[in-house]
Amino acid sequence: MDHFLYRDGQLWAEDVALAEIARAVGTPAYVYSAATLLRHFDLFDQALAGIDHLVCFAMKSLSNIAVLKLLGDAGAGMDVVSGGEYLRARAAGVPGARIVFSGVGKTRAEMHTALSGGIRQFNVESEPEMEALSEVAVALGVTAPITIRVNPDVDAQTHAKIATGKSENKFGIPISRARAVFAMAAALPGLRVVGIDVHIGSQLTTLAPFAAAYAKVAELTAQLRADGHAITRLDLGGGLGIPYTRSNEAPPLPAEYGAMIRQTLGHLGCEIEIEPGRLIAGNAGLLLSEVIYVKSGEGRDFLILDAAMNDLIRPAMYDAHHDIVPLVEPVAGVEQRPYDIVGPICETGDTFARARPMPPLAAGDLVAFRSAGAYGAVMASEYNSRLLVPEVLVSGDQFAVIRARPTYDEMISRDSIPAWL
C-alpha cells in the first residue's frame, strides 16, 4: 500500500496534489511519502514483535538525510556500505549504536571514522578485511564488534546483478570455511565476534531462498557455539521484493517473512537484525516527469519525456519495469495506445518502456513513475550535463524540497581549469 492516490481526477501524494509540486519544483523530480515510509518500517518492526530485534534501513536504497531522520526518529537503525553513508546517518541524528557497516571493500579510513564515531558492528566479509580492522581498532585502543558474513551458496532466484548469495558472487566467506575464519577472528586483537551475517540478494519474491539460507545459518550457529563462540546476534540482511506492477501476484508480506524467521531461527535465542531497503522505500516514492514531445515513428509512436536514464537508471541497467501513469486520471474506458516511452539522452538505452499501453497524452502533460523511491535518486547522475534531480518529501498537507536542483553555474563551477591551460 502507498499514499499516492487519485482524488478528484488528480494524482495526490497524501494530501498534496502532485501537480502542485511539479509547478513549484519543476520536473523531473522525486517525491516521497512520509506516511508510506513509516508504514512500511512499522510493518517490519511489528513482524518481529516479541523477538529482540533491530530493523536497519538499507541506506543504499535511499540516503537523503531527511528520510533517514524520519526513519531514525521512528526507531530504525541504519545499514551503511560506505564512509559517506555512515556520515549521512550520523548527520541525520542516528546514534552509532544503531548503525551496522556492511560492504566488501571497507577502507582503513572508513573503519577509523566508524570506530571513532560509534558503531553497532562491522559485517566483515573477508580475512584481509578482518586483519585490517584489527589493526585499526588496536591503534585506536578500542574493540570492534563484528559479525562475519557467510556466503551460503543459495540461489536467490532474482536478477543476476543483484544476487549476492551464490558461491560465484563476491560477497562473504564460503560457509564451508566459516568455522576456521571465526577461529581466526577470535584470535585477533581488537575484535569481538558477536554473530553471523548473511544476505543473499535483492528483490526476492518468494520466501524459499531465505528459508534455505537461514537453515544453514541455524546449523552454523550450533557448530560455532560448540566451538566456544558466543553467537548472540544474527544479521539476516534484506532483500524482500516489492510489486513493481499492479498484477495480482505480490511478494510475501513482512508478516510472512517474520513468521519464517521465527520458524527457522527463533529457537536460537539470538537478537535478529534485518536490513530492508526496497520494501520500505520503493513504493514510497514517485518520479515526476513532463511529456516534451509525442513523436510518430516507423511503426511506433514515442513519448519523449524530460526524465532520462540519468534520473532513473533502473530500466536501462536492469530492464526494470515501472508503472507510468498520468497525473490527470484517465476517463474510465478510454482507449489506450502503445508508446515507446523514452528520455532525451542520446542513447537508445535511454528507454523506459516499449509498446507500453497509455491513455492519450500530449506535450506538457505530466506523468509519474511509480515504485521509484528505492534505487532512483541515489543512482542518479549528471550524465549529458543534466542537472541532478531534486527530491521532495510530503507529510500530510505539507511538502518540502529535501535536495534542491542545482543551477547550471553550480554544476559547472565544480570543474576547474589548470593554470597551464
Interatomic CA distance for residues 369 and 83, integer angstroms: 31
Residue 314, Cα to own-chain centre: how many angstroms?
A: 12
Interatomic CA distance for residues 328 and 362, integer angstroms: 12
Interatomic CA distance for residues 75 and 94, integer angstroms: 9
Interatomic CA distance for residues 66 and 141, integer angstroms: 34
Under a CB-based contact definition with an 8 Å cutoff, are residues 80 and 100 in contact? yes
* For helices 208-226 and 178-187, angle between their N-to-C axes, nearest 10 degrees: 50
Instruction: For residue 144, give the 3-state DSSP assignment.
Output: strand
The DSSP call for residue 129 is H
DSSP codes of every residue in 74-124: TT-EEEESSHHHHHHHHHTT--GGGEEE--S---HHHHHHHHHH--SEEEE
Phi then psi dihedrals of residue 59, to 5 deg: -65, -25
Phi then psi dihedrals of residue 16, to 5 deg: -125, 125
398, three cell numbers: 505539507
270 is a catalytic site residue: no
- Tell me how many helices (H) and strands (E) the chain has: 12, 21
Single out the catalytic residue among 49, 187, 334, 346: 346
> Comparing C-alpha atoms, which of 361, 353, 292, 295 is closest to residue 328?
361
Strand partners, 36: none
CA 242 to each of CA 208, 272, 281: distance values in angstroms, whole numbers, following the listed order: 16, 22, 10
> Comparing C-alpha atoms, which of 323, 316, 361 is closest to residue 339?
361
Interatomic CA distance for residues 25 and 21, integer angstroms: 6
Interatomic CA distance for residues 100 and 213, integer angstroms: 21
Q: What's at 199, amino acid-wise?
A: H
Q: Write down the residue that cell numbers 562491522 correspond to.
A: 122
Q: Which amino acids are annotated catalytic? A: 346
